[in-house]
């Protein structure tokens, strides 16, 4: 996964950011990073070496390797990315937090987990190093895997 370009997605692409993170991309999202204004978004892309993904044609034109998306629905946006040569496939296991984009770590089998998460002794569970959210490969994971396979 490390050979994939880190990305930054504009304010209109929050849902897409979650999908990309589940595919193992380092996908920063404008609103998480307080970068709604064009100049802040461009500065973030520049300082962190992130490729800009945007639905804003004018903005895309100002950056050399920006990815311009035209579709509104996330499935269609994913198809546009596939057409642009992006690899879209769920990671073997969670690598990035879908909520905040930080790396996740495996929860030890004996560690306690919050009520919404499964018992790690029974189901492999991961925790975000930053926001602490827990992840596992449950029905949501399977749904997204199907959705991506059917693109």
Report the Cα 102 to chain-centroid distance in Å: 10
Closest to Zn ion by CB, 57 vs 130, is 130
Q: List helix spans (H) across the chain.
A: 14-22, 38-48, 57-62, 74-83, 139-149
CA end-to-end span of the chain? 21
Contact assessment for residue 8 and residue 51, using Cβ atoms and an 8 Å cutoff: yes
Closest to Zn ion by CB, 33 vs 79, is 33
Site string for Zn ion, 77-116 (x = CB under 5 A): --------------------x-xx-x--------------
Compute how many residues bind Zn ion; rule: CB under 5 A: 8
Query: Does position 128 bind Zn ion by CB under 5 A?
Result: yes
Identify which range of 27-35, 39-47, 126-134, 137-145 contacts Zn ion by CB under 5 A: 126-134
We find the least distance from the C-beta atom of residue 83 to Zn ion, in angstroms, to be: 30
Identify which range of 14-22, 28-36, 37-45, 132-140 contacts Zn ion by CB under 5 A: 132-140
DSSP line for 115-144: TTSPPTTTS-EEEETTT--EEESSHHHHHH
Closest to Zn ion by CB, 79 vs 133, is 133
Contact assessment for residue 81 and residue 67, using Cβ atoms and an 8 Å cutoff: yes
We find the least distance from the C-beta atom of residue 131 to Zn ion, in angstroms, to be: 3
- In this structure, how many other beta carbons lie within 10 angstroms of the beta carbon of residue 64? 7
Interface residue list for Zn ion (CB under 5 A): 97, 99-100, 102, 128, 130-131, 133
């Amino acid at each position: 996964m490390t050979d994939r370009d880190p990305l930054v997605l504009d304010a209109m692409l929050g849902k897409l950011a979650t999908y990309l993170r589940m595919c193992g991309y380092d996908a920063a999202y404008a609103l998480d990073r307080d970068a709604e204004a064009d100049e802040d978004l461009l500065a973030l892309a520049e300082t962190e070496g992130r490729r800009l993904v945007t639905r804003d044609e004018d903005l895309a034109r100002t950056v050399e390797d920006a990815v311009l998306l035209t579709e509104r629905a996330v499935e269609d946006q994913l198809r546009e990315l596939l057409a642009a040569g992006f690899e879209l496939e769920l990671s073997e296991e969670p690598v990035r937090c879908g909520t905040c984009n930080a790396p996740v770590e495996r929860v030890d089998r004996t560690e306690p987990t919050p009520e919404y998460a499964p018992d790690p002794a029974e189901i492999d569970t991961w925790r975000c190093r930053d926001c602490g959210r827990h992840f596992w490969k449950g029905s949501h994971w399977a749904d997204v895997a199907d959705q991506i396979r059917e693109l």
